[in-house]
Structure 1
């Protein structure tokens, strides 16, 4: 009888569905955020000059978005939107932190820019804070640019901070090479290259936390100015440049010179080094045996520099670039790989915004968005599963003057239609992006009813989110 009881118990155990450790574990997140990378700055997005085999490989193993947007045409607002799931109008971070406030404005412009918050407030809830409360180890490396010391990553939910400070670029020491002069990044050997160092720190963190779920947020300083490349990569692209045959290199956007051709050897070297760093991190994921447990996200914070600061890249066929509300300033390369869910090598034209990462990552992790939070993002997890997704309109509000030539403006995209309002003179521009991705054919005169509808939607959104407005100067 005792033998029979033991056999029956063993059979019962076998018949009960067993949960594997992989099924019990929440997914890891590796988030790559590149600074100032343009929509066509990757091989998988059409560049024939820059070489990005590692990011291209990621795209071939995941889902590529063609209509993904940053919440702003400059860095800090977009960075805050990713972390909080909230539009810049709600966080108050509507310009890059460090831009002159209106009382210090000395440019001869028609308007005074609106005031903005110079830090991501502590009462904002970040994705890192929520994941940390739910058992995640959290890591940040690279560019932060969301406030002074008391607002650095370690005060916003990140257990580890490697290099995240108030600066908008690698402006200490030898900049992209050690010594870095960065109080949150110990100097390496003389001449050590920053993107490689940040990648190694990321792999180290993943190795030390491989037995628990983690968020590894690698926020590159690359490819932001100063334009500096490893010498070997610079020479590689100088040689490649000699083989190019192309037409005009320069055009114009407003009063600004705009680059039309991707051929800047130093910038190409910076893109290449960023790609190598991505490859190092992804190799680390593979070597740790975590590939199937890890969701990988790749995104840029705003468009590529085409109209100033060295004019290093072209965003064609998109119009303009960083600092502008045209597509070149806000449409971004974006790739997501969710093993077992995303279909390898696929592409979607689903419209998404950087505010959507917050609810998407929480849904993937099986964590509810706290009920006390007001967020603007919508989870695009259905898109990753191949399902239909009703995103609705997305919005922008930039009540400032960009260093790259852009002026105070706001915009809404709803379906194929995009309406822009320019605050200096109140004029509107309407584009159908499905057949005019370069925004060359303004349809406001032909579509007055649609203009009125979209303009009303834009104004209602500004009011609902508490958008601050620029003001006209006396006599301007």
Structure 2
């Protein structure tokens, strides 16, 4: 017979575990697709620009007032590498998912180039199980959070891996709930009258039949489903992790009718107005989630983290100006290692920790989300198979004045992007340390140096005037990539990998 003492002991332990679970914060990662640094009315620079005045994102402004805005936050040039880094804590040079994954497995997404081949990268994305060809095997963030007692929800775009591999299914990644996530990198349609492109076998958004032929735009449908999933978990009193990965603002450009006419009346072109309506619809989604948290008394114990997966789709010449967006004063856009392709709008709100209305200049990068979220969740010794490159930014959340000058941030895009010969859209690596940024053009075998403090637009190459800095950064970039066995592109002329950056300055 079990003694009363043992029963009371068990009840006390269960009660303590439940109390601990309630104290741990809920965590929301609100990730936007293809949103540029300037596609918001909340400025992330030292001044408000005409582009900031174009858009209406009152809820981003509201989140910034409540929390901390990061003015030097980075992702990767394209979507899947960013999502894999977020889910694994690995830099792109380590996980080697250096380009976006195609819907069918084993199919390259990189465009053909006349001089270089992109080598054997992990074109099938990431995998939560070993032995899948052309994938990086890693323990996903949601799996670790689920093991720690979190209710894990995926909503929206997944795009972690190619169709037919385990990583394409968010449920295999450790989520308890999957809303509309699969292998595709964008929706076939945002429109309910088109059933969100359901007829398209690869890019039709799955699982939203209840909204077919209504007036509910895709962004709104995902928001409603996400809030319903949170509500369903309330009785269990478990902390939740919501990965709210809106398909917006990725193409196709389709007007969100709730907001479209305002931008037409403002004098924007049809394409610009469609895009701006996608931005404002995304912002309304953020606001609806914030409203729910406040209404239900959950806001104080919930972390909300806003981020974009790469720069805005600022197309290169000959399409100048771009069809619907731009990143000025930043150079270039999606697909580039220049600032326009990788610098992102990032905001974190956590009432229990962050002083409202603060701004952090500390450079952070997408793989930093992984250790930061685990630390927020109180996961001290996660059992994972991968080595993590990211660093927790919790110290910055507690003190926005912190700034580390000696950390090296690295990007690697050994591919040719599909959009022409624009700046940085083919075969580049880059490193930032302090205010200095080194660009390695792998096709031209050239090094370019910029001082971002003085030249945020990367217009003035000062490598010739600063040979010592150029050489030091080239060596650090080479060492960083070499330690991670990076895949370098291969010259069609020689059949060998291109030179390391340090070899150009020996």
Normalising by structure 1, report the TM-score: 0.87
After TM superposition, list the pairs within 5 Å mapping 1:158-237 onto structure 2: 158-171=175-188, 174=191, 178-181=195-198, 182=204, 184-187=206-209, 188-190=211-213, 191-210=215-234, 211-237=237-263
Give me the whole-angstrom Cα distance separating, in 2, the residues matched to 1:369 and 1:23. 17
Say if 1:102 and 1:114, in contact at 8 Å, map to a contact too: no
Q: 1:176 to 1:240 in 2, by over 3 A?
A: farther
- Equivalent residue, structure 2, for 1:54: 59
Alignment of 1:321-360 (within 5 A): 321-360=333-372
Structure-1 separation of matches of 2:381 and 2:68: 24
Q: Does 1:436 align with 2:455?
A: yes
The structural deviation recorded for 1:217 is 0.7
In the TM superposition, residue 389 of structure 1 has moved relative to its aligned partner by 4.9
Give SS of 2:37's match: coil
- 1: distance between equivalents of 2:103 and 2:18? 51
How far off its partner does 1:19 sit? 12
Work out whether residues 29 and 215 of structure 1, in 8 Å CA contact, stay in contact via their aligned partners in 2.
Answer: yes
Alpha-carbon displacement from aligned partner over 1:364-412 (angstroms, at most 9, x marks no partner): 1221143654100000100000163537111001100112340101010
Report the CA distance between 1:232 and its aligned residue. 4.2
Residues 268/145 of structure 1: CA separation in 2 closer, same or farther (3 Å cut): same
Alignment of 1:15-414 (within 5 A): 21=19, 25-45=23-43, 46=48, 47-70=52-75, 72-98=76-102, 107-117=112-122, 118-122=124-128, 123-147=137-161, 148-149=163-164, 150-151=166-167, 152-171=169-188, 174=191, 178-181=195-198, 182=204, 184-187=206-209, 188-190=211-213, 191-210=215-234, 211-241=237-267, 264-307=272-315, 311-370=323-382, 373-386=386-399, 388-390=402-404, 392-404=407-419, 405=422, 406-414=425-433
Separation in structure 2 between the aligned mates of residue 398 and residue 337 of structure 1, nearest angstrom: 31
Distance 1:19 1:466, change over 3 A: closer
Q: CA deviation at 1:340?
A: 2.0
Q: State the 1:106 CA deviation.
A: 6.8
**1:42-82 per-position Cα deviation (integer Å, ceiling 9, x unaligned):** 11124101100111111111100000000x20000001001
Secondary structure of 2:42's partner?
A: helix
Q: Mind listing any 5+ residue stretches in structure 1 that lack a counterpart?
A: 1-17, 245-261
The separation in 2 between residues aligned to 1:303 and 1:175, in whole angstroms, is 27
How far 1:288 moved relative to its partner? 1.7
Aligned partners of 2:248 and 2:94: how far apart in 1?
28
Give the conservation status (yes or no) of the 8 Å contact 2:37–2:344.
Answer: yes
Query: Which digits, 9 at most, give the CA deviation of each residue in 1:404-463, with x for residues without a partner?
Result: 340101010000000010101210100000110000110110010111100001011111
Instruction: Assess, with a 3 A threshold, how the Cα gap between structure 1 residues 131 and 347 changes in structure 2: closer, same or farther.
Output: same
Deviates more, 1:229-238 or 1:182-191: 182-191
Does the residue aligned with 2:280 lie in a helix, a strand or coil? helix
TM-score normalised by structure 2 residue count: 0.82
